[in-house]
Amino acid sequence: MKAGILTIGDEIISGFSVDTNSVWLAQELLKRGITTLKKASVGDDPEAIREVLARWDGKLDLVIATGGLGPTHDDITKTAFCQYFNSELRFDEGYWELLIERFKKRGYDIPANNRAQAEIPIKSVAIPNPVGTAPGLQFRSGTTTFYVLPGVPTEMKAIMTEQILPEMGSGDMVPILTLRTTGIIESALAEKLKHVVSALKGIQVAYLPAYTGVDIRLRALEPVVMTPDVIESAAGEIESILGDLVYARGDTTLEEVVGKLLKERKETLALAESCSGGLASSRITDIPGSSAYMLGAVVAYSNEAKIRHLSVDADTLKAHGAVSEATAREMAEGVKSVFNAHWGVATTGISGPTGGTTAKPVGLVFTAVAGIKRTVVREARLVPHRLPHKAAASQVALNLLRLEILHHG
């Protein structure tokens, strides 16, 4: 089945409101084997709405429109659908009684402008709204079914979940699997995988790059002929080629992976952050239960802080500079020692915009992990922009920690 999602509202097209409805809808449909082929957004404008309906009618099996059904929107959406389907309105006494009752229960008299919400297009079926006053509507035209839903996410989701989705299948019809990689750029990843990917049948492979790594998403193209085993076997093949480059499946984060490893081994962690400025610690402490292994961190932005709180040697700073292999090593070993942790992690680099030189440009970072058996330091040139650099530097450091725990823990 092929679907289209139409989001309606001046707020959406003028950029004041992020459209999360269509994201949720597309995911729920996909899980049921329904592919969203198109999305469109228009303002509170009946002509623009009708134009989209005309374009999708007969070409798609399912159209879901959201927005413009509230009492303050003058029923623009309902008007547009009535015009398109050439439908009159009928006043639904039963629905009106239900609304009056619902308001009474909450101790209110119903405002007069809610009356319009009991006007149902004759050519539609009203769908009860369990959490709001505007009912959803269903229209049919040939092979295309149209749903019109309120734009308030809780109302839209309630109507979909309780009334519409149950008719569309169980929600586990399309196997989707994401492999998360870090430490390799998208083009190099695609190069490594080109043979295995081109040999896959019926599976779509997508690369989703970010500064912190590239996700590989595997998705069955044809729900009916695929089983989870096929996706699983493709994922296994890719993992065997990529090895350690894959740190997780699904939406698991690197900080969750590291946290799980530390928890299982009953080992502890302390961080010494310079260029990442607290971000790596914040990521570690995003995980519920992280206090079991996270002892603490020192954000050492100044040389004095590195000397005083991390026992970095003043001579090291003088000889090699704050951004150097030697300083990173002493920071990691220092924080491990002062917190008496099993693992010490350090970052020192140049996030920019200023502070770069030819020898040490903006983007340079040294990350270090002082572990149970050894200390390692890695030099990397990351994106030379402050916020992505912080994100990437924290990722490189946590990934180095992951690899050291796995292989030298």
Contact set for its own copies, span 291-320 (CB under 8 A): 291, 294-302, 304-305, 308-309
Task: Rank residues 123 and 378 by Cβ distance to its own copies and give the closer one.
Answer: 378
Q: In sequence order, what DSSP letters do the residues of 129-153 get, joined into one string? A: -TTSSSPEEEEEETTEEEEEE-SSH
- In this structure, what token pair is assigned to residue 14? 């003028």
Stretch that binds its own copies, among 80-88, 136-144, 161-169, 197-205 (CB under 8 A): 197-205
Q: Are 255 and 284 in contact (CB under 8 A)?
A: yes
* Residue 57 Cβ vs its own copies, minimum distance, rounded to whole Å: 15
Question: Rule CB under 8 A: which of 41-80 touch its own copies?
Answer: 41-43, 45, 48, 70-74
Task: Name which of 1 and 123 has its Cβ closer to its own copies.
Answer: 1
What number of residues does the chain have? 409
Contact call for residue 196 and its own copies (CB under 8 A): no
| Contact by Cβ (8 Å): 346, 396 | no
Answer yes or no whether residue 249 interacts with its own copies by CB under 8 A. Answer: no
Which tokens in the block code for residue 176?
């989707």
Q: Is the dihedral of CA 125, 129, 135, 139 positive or negative?
A: negative
Least Å distance, CB 225 to its own copies, is: 18
Kindly tell me which of 127 and 380 has the beta carbon lying closer to its own copies.
Answer: 380
Contacting range for its own copies; rule: CB under 8 A; set: 138-146, 161-169, 283-291, 326-334: 283-291
Distances (CA, A) of 303 to 274, 308, 312: 10, 9, 9
Compute how many residues bind its own copies; rule: CB under 8 A.
Answer: 108
* Residue 293 beta carbon to its own copies: minimum distance, rounded to whole angstroms: 9
Long-range contacts of 128-134 (CB under 8 A, 24+ apart): 128/159, 128/163, 129/155, 129/158, 129/159, 130/158, 130/159, 130/162, 131/155, 131/158, 132/158, 133/71, 133/99, 133/102, 134/69, 134/70, 134/71
Q: 123 or 184, CB closer to its own copies?
A: 184
Q: Does residue 138 belong to the site contacting its own copies (CB under 8 A)?
A: no
Is 342 near its own copies (CB under 8 A)? no
Q: Looking at 40, 53, 156, 346, which residue binds its own copies (CB under 8 A)?
A: 40
Locate tokens 């081109």: which residue?
198
Using the rule CB under 8 A, which residue among 125, 241, 319, 387 binds its own copies?
387
CB of 130 to its own copies, least distance (A): 9
Burial 76-113 (b: 16+ CB within 10 A, else e): bbbbbbbebbebebeebeebbeebeeeeeeeeeebeee
| Under rule CB under 8 A, residue 202 binds its own copies | no
288 binds its own copies (CB under 8 A): yes
Long-range pairs for 209-212 at CB < 8 Å and ≥24 separation? 209/185, 211/382, 211/383, 211/388, 211/391, 211/392, 211/395, 212/182, 212/254, 212/391, 212/392, 212/395
Cβ proximity to its own copies: between 219 and 329 the closer is 219
Residues with Cβ within 8 Å of residue 185, at least 6 apart in sequence: 209, 214
As given in the structure block, the two tokens for residue 68 are 């413009």
Instruction: Examine residue 286 and tell whether it contacts its own copies (CB under 8 A).
Output: yes
Q: Which stretch binds its own copies (CB under 8 A): 89-97, 137-145, 189-197, 233-241?
A: 189-197
**Please, are residues 277 and 348 in contact by the beta-carbon 8 Å criterion?**
no
Q: In whole angstroms, what is the distance from residue 285 CA to residue 292 CA? A: 10
279 binding its own copies? (CB under 8 A): yes
Report yes or no: 13 and 48 within 8 Å, Cβ to Cβ: no
Tokens of 355: 């502070």
Give the residue with the Cβ less far from its own copies, 88 or 109.
109
Choose which of 161, 187, 233, 252 interacts with its own copies (CB under 8 A): 187
Q: Is 161 in the site for its own copies (CB under 8 A)?
A: no
Q: Segment 215-244, which members bind its own copies (CB under 8 A)?
A: 217, 219
Q: Does 154 bind its own copies (CB under 8 A)?
A: yes
Closer by beta carbon to its own copies, 137 or else 279: 279
User: Does the protein bind its own copies through residue 22 (CB under 8 A)?
Assistant: yes
Q: Does 352 bind its own copies (CB under 8 A)?
A: yes
Question: Which residue from 20, 170, 233, 240 is in contact with its own copies, where contact means CB under 8 A?
Answer: 20
One character per residue 94-123, x = contact with its own copies (rule: CB under 8 A): -----------xxxx--xxxx---------
